[in-house]
């Protein structure tokens, strides 16, 4: 029998210390999030109900529910997702699979990185000038969605590109050796094996698009808009809409004598919506990732 040496015991102690430190850092990150969620739910509990979700704001937005803002947020997120995802994925495919290392490619990559760092208020002003005024779309759901799509493109491009690059190059070589074209290889091998990473970028896009206020404030969101309760097709593409983030800002800063629970209730619904979408996407991503054979 061999007994552990002092050096081995020292390594085990160092390992335990490192593990404890990493666990402590993780807990310190999670605790504030849990406390914020608990605080919001406690403050919002008196107003949370089904009626709060399916009724429109009334009495100068001091009462009623949040159906109009909730539906507007759904429209903005879905439409911006439909616009940004194909463009972002196709751009990433070109940069990772087709483009050679050249000055143009480096400029494109630099532009993507810089676009990710542009403040949302700058995107708002760009959307106002490009879509509302120059393109003549006017303040509408379409203009706001286009602005959100441009704002979230860098995240989708970067995450998709990283996911494509993670697929072993040997997979591509095996396909080319049996006569497959580059596009056939991408379509049938590379994309299926990178879809979980692509979903990561889409998840982040949904979260950011749902919570932004400045871009939609300049391009499509309004202070108040009456729609028919329960009608999920109440908004048109060229209509202005209410949105949860804008509504939360408005009732928190612009409307006097608002019940204390109302802003917290709006915040809880916004947070819960984002968490629900994230949970569904993460579940799908885990299932897709479990199919990988490498």
Instruction: Tell me the domains of the chain and their CATH numbers.
Output: 50-290 (1.10.3720.10)
Distance between CA 103 and CA 236 in Å, rounded? 43
3-state secondary structure at position 241: strand
Q: 47 CB contacts (<8 Å, ≥6 apart)? A: 259, 261, 262, 264, 265
Q: Which residues pair with 57 in a beta bridge?
A: 64
Tens-place pLDDT, residues 91-142: 999 988 888 888 888 888 888 888 888 888 899 999 999 999 999 899 999 9
Are 271 and 40 contacting, i.e. CB atoms less than 8 angstroms apart?
Answer: yes
Tell me, what's the pLDDT at 148? 92
Q: What is the mean pLDDT of the chain?
A: 87
Are 139 and 220 contacting, i.e. CB atoms less than 8 angstroms apart?
Answer: yes
Rg (the chain; Cα; Å):
24
Distance between CA 206 and CA 74 in Å, rounded? 10
- Write down the pTM of the prediction: 0.86
Tens-place pLDDT, residues 226-235: 888 888 888 9
**Encoded tokens for 71:** 């539906």
- Mean of pLDDT values over 207-230: 86
**Encoded tokens for 213:** 């206020």
pLDDT for residue 2 is more than 60: no
pLDDT for residue 288 is more than 80: no
Tell me, what's the pLDDT at 213? 84
Tell me, what's the pLDDT at 31? 93
């Amino acid at each position: 029998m061999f007994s552990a040496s002092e050096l081995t015991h020292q390594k085990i102690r160092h390992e335990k210390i490192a593990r404890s430190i990493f666990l402590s850092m993780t807990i310190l990150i999670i605790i504030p999030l849990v406390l914020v969620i608990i605080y919001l739910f406690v403050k919002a509990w008196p107003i949370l109900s089904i009626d709060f979700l399916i009724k429109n704001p009334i009495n100068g937005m001091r009462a009623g529910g949040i159906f109009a803002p909730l539906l507007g947020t759904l429209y903005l997120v879905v439409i911006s997702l439909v616009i940004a995802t194909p463009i972002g994925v196709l751009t990433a495919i070109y940069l990772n699979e087709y483009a050679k290392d050249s000055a143009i490619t480096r400029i494109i990559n630099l532009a993507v990185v810089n676009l990710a760092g542009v403040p949302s208020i700058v995107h708002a002003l760009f959307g106002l000038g490009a879509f509302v005024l120059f393109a003549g779309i006017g303040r509408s759901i379409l203009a706001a969605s286009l602005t959100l799509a441009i704002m979230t493109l860098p995240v989708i491009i970067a995450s998709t590109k990283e996911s494509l690059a993670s697929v072993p190059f040997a997979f591509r070589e095996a396909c080319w050796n049996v006569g497959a074209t580059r596009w056939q290889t991408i379509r049938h091998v590379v994309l299926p094996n990178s879809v979980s990473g692509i979903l990561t970028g889409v998840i982040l896009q949904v979260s950011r698009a749902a919570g932004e206020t400045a871009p939609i404030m300049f391009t499509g969101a309004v202070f108040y808009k009456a729609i028919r309760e329960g009608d999920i097709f109440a908004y048109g593409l060229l209509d202005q809409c209410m949105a949860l983030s804008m509504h939360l800002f408005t009732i928190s800063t612009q409307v006097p004598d608002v019940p204390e629970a109302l802003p917290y209730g709006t915040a809880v619904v916004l947070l819960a919506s984002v968490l629900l979408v994230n949970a569904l996407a993460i579940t799908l991503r885990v299932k897709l990732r479990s199919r990988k054979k490498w």
